[in-house]
């Protein structure tokens, strides 16, 4: 079963027999999300919410590189540097509304996070009712790498990962394979790619009373144990520290080589992004809902976009010029103003998200 494809469609809409099928279709960009795609997904989901002929929704990505590499950060760079404030607001407001719609849909959304699934891709797949990964899956919230902070409800998921994995994944932008994603709570099932076509057919031809979850379980396979099972000791110890400098100090005091590598990564990352992100994950643990986490993230991302140079600089270094040599402001954790984090959380965006 495949959606009907045309050359210009960035989102393909198809399906039959009660199954609505949405496919992100920018494979050359690993299906990176732009505002046109977000709007197309929202319009279709809104229509299907009222369509009695659709009772299950399948979401996947075209091509074999990945489900979705995230939001189109090059486009975001152009919007911010071009002073297109209204477009920046619209992008995040409509993206977050889409993420929340998927999370609260009355009709179960099944997301196939095959291959690369990062940033905005986590916003789509991470909040679905049934979240499937494969042996090719690589999941991450890598926003700190561009001087930014995890959003699209990522802080909500990170805050609910076991132990201090949330802080670790948020600050390092570390990549998870299928086993890691299951362990950290970013996925529900691992289905080998060789079984995906059969899963699609089973979902399309399902007979009552088989639920989507029961059908997925027919193809579910348990991966090898996650590396986090053995790494939890040093991760939980170090990332429980009060602030980023203390986390780095604890990492350097550990005997594990990976802990030392993590310390060096954090020492060269964007100080503002690290400090704000650590606080965001910890505050998200006390928030009552995904909706509240998205509202918190919305204020933070606009604070970064409109008041901080690091986001534009990070995208420039990683995506535009690709020199991989960002010049953070400030460059050192020791130079980070003590009030910087509180300023970020005090920022009140206008218009508000909800």
C-alpha–C-alpha distance, residues 353 and 98, integer Å: 12
Is 154 one of the catalytic residues?
Answer: no
Is 151 one of the catalytic residues?
Answer: yes
Of 239, 249, 139, 237, the closest CA to residue 185 belongs to: 139
Compute φ and ψ for 189, nearest 5 degrees.
-145, 150
Query: Which pLDDT score is estimated for 7?
Result: 42
Query: Which pLDDT score is estimated for 8?
Result: 56
Catalytic residue among 95, 143, 177, 313: 143
Catalytic residue among 66, 71, 115, 147: 71
Query: Which pLDDT score is estimated for 352?
Result: 87
Per CATH, the number for 11-217 is: 3.90.226.10
Q: Tokens 């780095």: give the residue.
A: 248
C-alpha–C-alpha distance, residues 186 and 180, integer Å: 8
Interval 130-175: pLDDT, tens: 999 999 999 999 999 999 999 999 999 999 999 999 999 999 999 9
Catalytic residue among 34, 72, 151, 177: 151
Compute φ and ψ for 238, nearest 5 degrees.
-70, -45
Is 71 one of the catalytic residues?
Answer: yes
**Whole-prediction pTM:** 0.95
Domain boundaries, the chain: 11-217, 229-346
Q: What would the two tokens of residue 167 be?
A: 């802080």
Task: Give the residues of the chain that fall short of pLDDT 70.
Answer: 1-8, 207-209
């Amino acid at each position: 079963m495949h959606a009907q494809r045309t050359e210009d469609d960035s989102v393909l809409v198809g399906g039959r027999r009660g199954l609505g099928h949405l496919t992100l279709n920018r494979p050359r960009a690993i299906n990176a999300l732009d505002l046109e795609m977000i709007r197309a997904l929202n319009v279709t989901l809104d229509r299907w919410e009222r369509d009695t002929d659709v009772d299950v929704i399948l979401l996947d990505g075209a091509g074999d590189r990945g489900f979705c590499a995230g939001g189109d950060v090059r486009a975001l760079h152009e919007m911010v540097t071009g002073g297109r404030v209204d477009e920046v607001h619209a992008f995040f407001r409509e993206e977050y509304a889409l993420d929340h719609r998927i999370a609260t849909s009355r009709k179960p959304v099944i997301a196939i996070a095959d291959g690369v699934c990062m940033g905005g891709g986590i916003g789509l797949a991470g909040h679905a009712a049934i979240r499937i990964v494969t042996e090719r899956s690589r999941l991450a919230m890598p926003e700190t790498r561009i001087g930014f902070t995890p959003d699209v409800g990522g802080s909500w998921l990170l805050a609910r990962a076991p132990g201090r994995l949330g802080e670790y994944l948020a600050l390092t932008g570390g990549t998870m394979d299928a086993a890691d994603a299951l362990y950290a709570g970013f996925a529900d099932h691992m289905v080998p790619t060789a079984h995906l076509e059969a899963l699609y057919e089973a979902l399309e031809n399902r007979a009552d009373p088989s639920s989507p979850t029961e059908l997925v379980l027919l193809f579910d396979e348990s991966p090898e144990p996650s590396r986090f099972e053995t790494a939890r000791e040093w991760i939980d110890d170090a990332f429980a520290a009060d602030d980023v400098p203390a986390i780095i100090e604890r990492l350097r005091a550990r005997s594990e080589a990976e802990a030392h590598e993590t310390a060096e990564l954090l020492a060269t990352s964007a100080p503002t992004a690290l400090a704000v992100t650590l606080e965001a994950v910890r505050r998200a643990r006390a928030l009552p809902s995904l909706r509240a986490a998205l509202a918190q993230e919305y204020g933070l991302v606009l604070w970064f976009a409109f008041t901080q140079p690091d986001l534009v600089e990070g995208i420039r270094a990683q995506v535009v010029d690709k020199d991989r040599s960002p010049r953070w402001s400030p460059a050192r954790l020791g130079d980070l103003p003590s009030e910087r984090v509180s300023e970020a959380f005090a920022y009140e965006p206008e218009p508000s998200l909800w």
